[in-house]
A and B are shown apart, each in its own frame.
Chain A
Amino acid sequence: MKALFVASATVLIASAVGGVPATASPKKIDMITMTDTPQLLEVHDGIVAGLKQLGYVEGKDIQIDFKSAQGNFGTAQQIVRQFVGDRPDVIVPITTPTSQATAAATKDIPIVFTTVTDPIAAKLVSKLDKPGGNISGVSDPVPIKQMMTMIKEFVPGLKKLGLVYDPSLPNSVVTVKQIKEVATTMGFTTVESAAMGLNNVPTAGQALVGKVDAIFVPNDTTVYAVFESLVKVAQDGKVPLFTAERRSVQRGAIATIGLDFVRMGIVTAGMIDKVLKGTKPGDLDVIDMAEQPGALSLYINKGAAEKMGVKISPELLKKAAEVF
């Protein structure tokens, strides 16, 4: 047994060391995500598509290495270390924890983060305009005022808004805090229902039925992962359900304005392009998805609205960029 172990260890080390390093020509893009929920994979797809649109050919001009830490911080740390050792042309961390780990691991390799709701709170950058250093990226804050106004258009008598989210996700916590801040000025109060993990999402939703006039879900990868279960709860309880991005409206929420994870990926690709062409990330402003063109497009799911007992006026339907 011991001999077998030594032998296999030798083989492993030999093949690792003997591997031929790739020659410098294709630019290396190393991407890491904390978990591979569908939402985050859409960002990845958007980046790939965006880069293709910009004329990059995978394998010739660029080489993308995409890894998921499977929710494990130890693995994330090692992936980041491995990337840094790779000396790629840019590292693209998706979501806050991986961005923090990357920023901690290198001060000279260019970093373009994406899907971070509040980069300043995460201590990734100290300001959004030309943050300086080797790091910048794309943030996806929810346009709170516009979002709440939209909800009120569908539910005019909104007095209590339920919030279903995973309190372990920094992005969600930030959004929830922001909603609470504007709630009183907009004439409603909030009721929070925390879902600690995928399995608790339906329960979190059920806890709100009968207590609120509508439910809103921030960009929460946990809830989105099992979104259909929440849709069912909302339909059964006839509680209007709204979310913060487009795909989940397709999946059964009534409406949202703005965010599309694929588009965020494409926008990120634009920033990556600039970095590959030589601009330092620190000289690029952090891109706020809410300020992008089309960011405030209205997406509506008519069928969902009917199932949840909400009537949509024809004018509202006309305003929509897309109706599912």
Chain B
Amino acid sequence: MRPIEKIQQIPDVAAKVGEFTLPEVLAISASREVRNDDIVFAGTGLPMIGILTAQCLHAPSSVLIYEAGIMDGKSMHIPGSVSDARACYMSSTLGGLLDTFGFYLQRGLVTLGFLGGASIDQYGGVNVTCIGDYYTPENRLTGSGGNADIGTQSKRVVFIMLQEKRRFVEKNEYTTTPGWYGYEWPSGKWTRKKEIYKNTRFENYGPAAVISNMGVYRFDDNGIMYLETYHPGVTTEKIKDNCSFKLNVSKVKGETPHPTYKQLFALREYVDPERLFLPDPPDYPPDVKKIINSFS
């Protein structure tokens, strides 16, 4: 039986609390953001895992671009890097950085950018450069890599990150990747992205969602972040306590949908069966286990 036929036999029913782990909630939430016609430019780790899961489920035709030069790789095994030969397998074309950052990204082909960040502001701007003063930081981080490029030139941008009070901030100490607001240079004026990118194709491109370990967020017409759903076991109060700007919680729809058994099966058995990234998952319930056992 082909893997896809197995996946299709697993019930698409919400799993119960205790039957999944937090990284799985994040990966599945990420996968929900991917549409079947998306051309996705994704970073290493959770973003990549979310998209690979989507490709096993509702978005098999979504195209994945990996930074080092890979167009539409079809991985059998989870890549450990955006340059991994596993990511190159059966790709449409292989090139280099000019292909991905030039021909695809700056040319405007990318519909979804998928990134991480160390801290985020209320407009979806991200810091991956430094905590504290730029020249004498408490913590120097990796710096942009492709984050600033992908985060400003993809039609929709989704960030996946850890939520703590010091990571959800009014204003980033260093804005690596501007969200709906950024700096106009050389004046240094803090202004709307629309103004900064006026008359370019990127005027209306920007953050569409943030997925944290506590909830899922979206942006209103003014480019300000609001809470859409909270993850299982998390309250809006806890979320507000872990956010240092005044978070709009008036549009909350409820709990983030639990991952379904089908989604968990695809993620565990076909996206990261080597457990490069996922912690050891809890057991499937008996009825699902029975179906899985019937495969072998």
Real binding pair: no
